[in-house]
A and B are shown apart, each in its own frame.
Chain A
Amino acid sequence: MADESGNGKSSVMNNTQLRNFLTKAVTDVFGTMVSMKVELLDSNTTANLEGERLVGSVGFAGRATGAVYIHVTEAFARQMTGAMLGMKPDEVKNMADVQDAVGEVSNMIGGNLKSHLADNGLSCVLSIPSITRGSDFRIEAVGAAQQQRLVFCPQQADTVVIVEVYFKADQ
């Protein structure tokens, strides 16, 4: 794992740059598509998700290999979906729609990162999004050179959004 001092292992971006890049990508995606302001919490935060949650993920493979995960509670996922589709959260009945919306948000954040990596010589391809749903599981990366865990607090919601990124670049 890379340290938090900004001396990450990739020549493309150190951990501080990765953190800043992801913060901008996440705030852009939530601001534009979900019409919701999200604020990055301090890296020492202990905020976490309780109960049923959804994790949207996209992977990328090539000269850079890794994945982006977006963790949200099921209730907040409905709220996001409603905001994206112009509906109230309780009008969102279909779980497939919720999964699709969370998947699309992951795709946009992952696509942003993938494009940045490709522009810096680490060409790779993006996977289609997938969704993991449950209440008692952990995601761990094997062999990741860099990883980041960012916790965002969305406005008007009593929860957090957790974004995790793992990647390894060809040197």
Chain B
Amino acid sequence: MAVKILTVDDSKTIRLIVARAFKSFDCEIFEASNGVEGIAVAAREKPDLIILDITMPIMDGTETLRKLKSDAALKPIPVIMLTAESGRENVLKIAKMGIRDYIVKPFKEDQLIDKAGRVVNLQSKSQGKAAVKTLADAVSILVVDDKPAISQQIAEGLSNTPWKINGKTSAAEGMHEASSSVPDAILISLSLDGGAGFNLFQQLRGFAKTRAVPIFGMCIKTDTETQSRAEQTGFSGVITKPIDIEALKMKLIRAMSIDTSLLYFSMDENIQYLTLTGKVTSQVTGEVERYLAAKINDMANAGMNKFIVDLSKVTDFDVPLIRTIITLVQSCQELSIRVRMVGNQTVNVKLKAFQEISDMTLDASLEEAQAVLLGQPKPASNQASEVTASESMEGKAPANASAT
């Protein structure tokens, strides 16, 4: 839900600057040009935060604050004073009246966002859209490590993605970069001098724009003490060195809520496909299961009833894939969705090792599976190409899988 912010200032210029500062956040801005209007708007809208000027005509900020704090319904609304008057006496007077914070004019928009972000939960508008990012989208990853080779290794390792890796060699440079152009994820070396990596993390978490950005710490694999400290501090995770690029990629994908379903799921001519290739690790099956239930439900809602699982390019797999297949088949059966599975000899041999699914039928090619589902004759070259027993999977629920 959008955060409601009321700006009370007699200067339209300042009200516009305040509104512009919050433009990239999920906020609803209300304006008033003096204290009387401000109290009326506050009573009507019940804002989450009031940004209040002091020197105003009709009713100044000090009097407005006094009235707000004497009204039981408005008293809990946090107030940040925005004033050109920074004198000690003035600050003490308003502080005693129960303000959350104050900002002295002239001010930078970032300063306003930072202070407001300590009072209300500011959500970047782009955060709401993050869930729909896919692997085809360019995301920016800030790497702060005093060893440029690390940034370079990550950039090279992720060069098969459209991701942009931005390396910085000091905490100060990292903070400057993150505040001027908010990255989608941040990696910080925890071995920067003087605990600078941890300090940078705290700074970034205190800064509204980067508060919700996933931040990973990086340290050597054997430094368990630092890893533990990072977890306690609140890092999104720890990447150990030497860096396993594939593991890093998966962690970043999850942290950035990137939709990876296109890696595995596709649709063509009213048939839903799940295609797996290479070594199917538990990470991969975990990814698949993240989307599986939703995909099957979407099929049922759309009146689709054909599903092909293509394992023909799988080179290795283990129990997790068997569990996923059983889940998939059972879920499809419940919704009368017909499933065919395409596999090669390697898959077939391995499947046979699992008693519960050893009698599943595998089609030798996609064309064959499509023909079966569409009620068409099998392609001539595949007439006798089923790679296992003749019994069809359709309508047959496997027992619960267990490793044999």
Q: Is A123 an interface residue (CB 8 A)?
A: yes
Q: Is A39 an interface residue (CB 8 A)?
A: no
Q: How far is A118 from B17 in the complex, measured between Cα atoms in Å?
A: 28
Against A, the Cβ 8 Å flags (1 = close, 0 = not) of B15-38 are: 011001000000000000000000
A4-34 residues with Cβ-Cβ distance < 8 A to B are 28-29, 31-33
Is the beta-carbon distance between B17 and A111 smaller than 8 angstroms? Answer: no
Which residues of A have CB within 8 Å of B87?
114-116, 118-119
Partner of A86, one of B14, B20, B56, B83: B20
Choose the segment among B5-13, B189-197, B234-242, B322-330 that binds chain A (4+ C-beta atoms closer than 8 Å).
Answer: B5-13
A53-95 residues with Cβ-Cβ distance < 8 A to B are 81, 84-86
Q: How far is A126 from B62 in the complex, measured between Cα atoms in Å?
A: 13
Which residues of A have CB within 8 Å of B85?
111, 114-115, 118, 126
Q: How far is A119 from B90 in the complex, measured between Cα atoms in Å?
A: 9
Q: Given A104-B11, A118-B89, A126-B84, are A111 and B16 also a contact pair (CB < 8 Å)? A: no
Q: Given A85-B13, A86-B20, A104-B13, are A128 and B84 also a contact pair (CB < 8 Å)? A: no
Q: Given A85-B17, A119-B88, are A128 and B10 also a contact pair (CB < 8 Å)? A: yes
Q: Chain A binding site: helix, strand, loop or mixed by DSSP?
A: helix
Q: Is A2 an interface residue (CB 8 A)?
A: no
Choose the segment among B102-110, B165-173, B343-351, B384-392 that binds chain A (4+ C-beta atoms closer than 8 Å).
Answer: B102-110
Which residues of A have CB within 8 Å of B20?
85-86
Is the beta-carbon distance between A33 and B89 smaller than 8 angstroms? Answer: no
Q: Determine how close the nearest CB of chain B comes to the CB of A61; give it in whole angstroms.
A: 13
Total contacting residues, chain A, CB less than 8 A: 29
Partner of B16, one of A85, A96, A108, A123: A85
Q: Is B57 an interface residue (CB 8 A)?
A: yes
Q: Given A108-B105, A111-B55, are A100 and B17 also a contact pair (CB < 8 Å)? A: no
Is the beta-carbon distance between A81 and B84 smaller than 8 angstroms? Answer: no
Q: Is A97 an interface residue (CB 8 A)?
A: yes
Is the beta-carbon distance between B57 and A108 smaller than 8 angstroms? Answer: no
Q: How far is A103 from B13 in the complex, measured between Cα atoms in Å?
A: 10
Q: Is B297 an interface residue (CB 8 A)?
A: no
Which residues of B have CB within 8 Å of A112?
84, 86
Is the beta-carbon distance between A101 and B84 smaller than 8 angstroms? Answer: no
Q: How far is A107 from B14 in the complex, measured between Cα atoms in Å?
A: 11
Closest to B55 in A: A126
Which residues of B have CB within 8 Å of A104?
11, 13-14
Is the beta-carbon distance between B13 and A81 smaller than 8 angstroms? Answer: yes
Closest to B56 in A: A128
Is the beta-carbon distance between B10 and A28 smaller than 8 angstroms? Answer: no
Is the beta-carbon distance between B55 and A128 smaller than 8 angstroms? Answer: yes
Q: Determine how close the nearest CB of chain B comes to the CB of A92; give it in whole angstroms.
A: 11
Is the beta-carbon distance between B106 and A28 smaller than 8 angstroms? Answer: yes
Is the beta-carbon distance between A84 and B84 smaller than 8 angstroms? Answer: no
Q: Determine how close the nearest CB of chain B comes to the CB of A89; give it in whole angstroms.
A: 15
Q: Given A111-B105, A115-B85, are A128 and B57 also a contact pair (CB < 8 Å)? A: yes
Closest to A98 in B: B13
Which residues of A have CB within 8 Å of B12?
96-97, 100
Which residues of B have CB within 8 Å of A86?
20
Is the beta-carbon distance between A123 and B13 smaller than 8 angstroms? Answer: no
Q: Determine how close the nearest CB of chain B comes to the CB of A76; give it in whole angstroms.
A: 16
Is the beta-carbon distance between B86 and A111 smaller than 8 angstroms? Answer: yes
Q: Determine how close the nearest CB of chain A comes to the CB of B369; give it in whole angstroms.
A: 58
- Among B10, B13, B105, chain A packs the most CB atoms within 10 A around the CB of B13
Q: How far is A10 from B17 in the complex, measured between Cα atoms in Å?
A: 36
Which residues of A have CB within 8 Å of B105?
29, 33, 107-108, 111
Against B, the Cβ 8 Å flags (1 = close, 0 = not) of A31-46 are: 1110000000000000
B228-265 residues with Cβ-Cβ distance < 8 A to A are none
Q: How far is A55 from B56 in the complex, measured between Cα atoms in Å?
A: 19
Q: How far is A111 from B9 in the complex, measured between Cα atoms in Å?
A: 15
Q: How far is A104 from B10 in the complex, measured between Cα atoms in Å?
A: 9
Partner of A101, one of B13, B56, B57, B106: B13
Which residues of A have CB within 8 Å of B89?
118-119, 123
A-B contact pairs, 27 of them (CB 8 A): A29-B105, A31-B106, A32-B106, A33-B106, A33-B107, A81-B13, A85-B17, A97-B12, A97-B13, A100-B13, A104-B14, A107-B84, A107-B105, A108-B105, A108-B106, A111-B55, A111-B105, A112-B84, A115-B84, A115-B87, A115-B90, A118-B88, A118-B89, A118-B90, A119-B88, A126-B55, A128-B56
User: 6 closest A-B pairs (Cβ-Cβ)?
Assistant: A111-B84, A115-B87, A32-B106, A118-B87, A104-B11, A101-B13
